[in-house]
Amino acid sequence: MSLVGGKTTLGEAALHCLTVCDPEEKVEATCDVAQLWKAGCLQLGFPPESCLPEIPGRPLWPPLVTPGELPRRRLTTVLGRAALIHAIAHIEFNAINLAWDAVCRFRGLPGAFYDDWVQVALEEGYHFCLLQDHLHSMNHEYGDFPAHDGLWEMAQKTAHDPLVRMALVPRVLEARGLDVTPGMIERLQQAGDVRAVLILEIILRDEVSHVGIGSHWFRHLCESRKLNAERTFRDLVKGYFKGKTRGPLHREARLRAGFSEAELRMLERD
């Protein structure tokens, strides 16, 4: 049976999605694989570990720079709003890759783990398309502005252990989006960009669920290894990140995404 890229297992199909470079082709492949998996047309299986890439498929543009090299732009200008939408699109594009990397990299987990991350990949692809369409309405597209590679750099650092990945990518880096998105929505409302506001409201709603998936599987893995989840999370955050979490936390969103009060107090204190 010929499936996406000739792949017959979910892991092989996920690897295919991960290595596609063109954003539109990656989203299309993501939709196809998600549909096939949900229809029961793919077996649960994995590619050889030697086939897993250190760098995912991505276009030549945007150029990747350090966060400090990214220019600051005012949201009162079309260029400034386009740059912000581009930055969010870059995060969503990386999030597609992160979801597929989790599917094809981490083995021996319950089937629901793979169900969850296939769904995350599908929704991240939807977010990317919404943002890309809005960029087009401003006469821009993904690749027009520089971006940074912080999300994938953390993926590389956590590739050895799904527990560490779940703790630090969904529950730290992606959870930061829960904190800052309401402020971006307010600023875009003030700038009169109604379309961007609606898109970010969709993303915020879905990202609560995505971070919650990370929280669920982090706690599942801690329980299976007889580890205290709150203590383990604290130790991993301190071990991988320097300095205090920036800015106020969106406590309500984080609680809905599976954080405990003790974890929130730790993040606010440390």
Q: What is the pLDDT of residues 77-95, one digit of tens each?
A: 999 999 999 999 999 999 9
Cβ partners under 8 Å of residue 97, min gap 6: 18, 56, 57, 58, 152, 155
CB 222 within 8 A of CB 173: no
Cis peptide before 62 (omega within 30 of 0): yes
d(CA 226, CA 57): 36
Question: Is it the case that residue 7 has pLDDT exceeding 80?
Answer: no
Of 135-149, 162-176, 207-221, 235-249, minimum mean pLDDT range = 235-249
Under 8 Å CB-to-CB from 87, ≥6 apart: which residues? 70, 145, 147
Ordered DSSP codes for 131-148: HHHHHHHTT--TTSS-B-
Give mean pLDDT, residues 27-45: 97
User: How many residues belong to the chain?
Assistant: 270
Q: What is the pLDDT of residue 212?
A: 98
Average pLDDT, whole number, for the chain?
95
CA distance 259 to 219: 10
User: What's the DSSP call for residue 63?
Assistant: P
The pLDDT-based confidence of 15 (bands split at 50, 70, 90) is very high
* Residue 2: pLDDT over 50: no
82-134 residue pLDDT tens: 999 999 999 999 999 999 999 999 999 999 999 999 999 999 999 999 999 99
Mean pLDDT of 72-76: 89
Q: What is the mean pLDDT of residues 7-34?
A: 96
Point out the least confidently predicted range of 67-81, 122-136, 238-252.
238-252
Reduce the DSSP state of residue 43 to 3 states and report it.
Answer: strand
In angstroms, what CA-CA distances link 217 with 166, 212, 223? Answer: 7, 9, 10
Instruction: Give the pLDDT confidence score for residue 8 in this predicted structure.
Output: 86
Lowest mean pLDDT among 57-71, 171-185, 251-265: 57-71
pLDDT for 247 equals 76
Q: Model-level pTM?
A: 0.96
In the predicted structure, residue 269 carries a pLDDT above the cut 60: yes
pLDDT at residue 5 in the model: 64
CATH level 3 topology of 4-269: Ferritin (1.20.1260)
Q: Crossing angle of helices 78-105/111-137, nearest 10°?
A: 160
CB 258 within 8 A of CB 208: no
Position 242 confidence tier, pLDDT thresholds 50, 70, 90: confident
Cα–Cα separations (whole angstroms), residue 255 to 165, 177, 209, 211: 20, 14, 11, 10
* CA count, 13 A, side-chain hemisphere, 174: 33
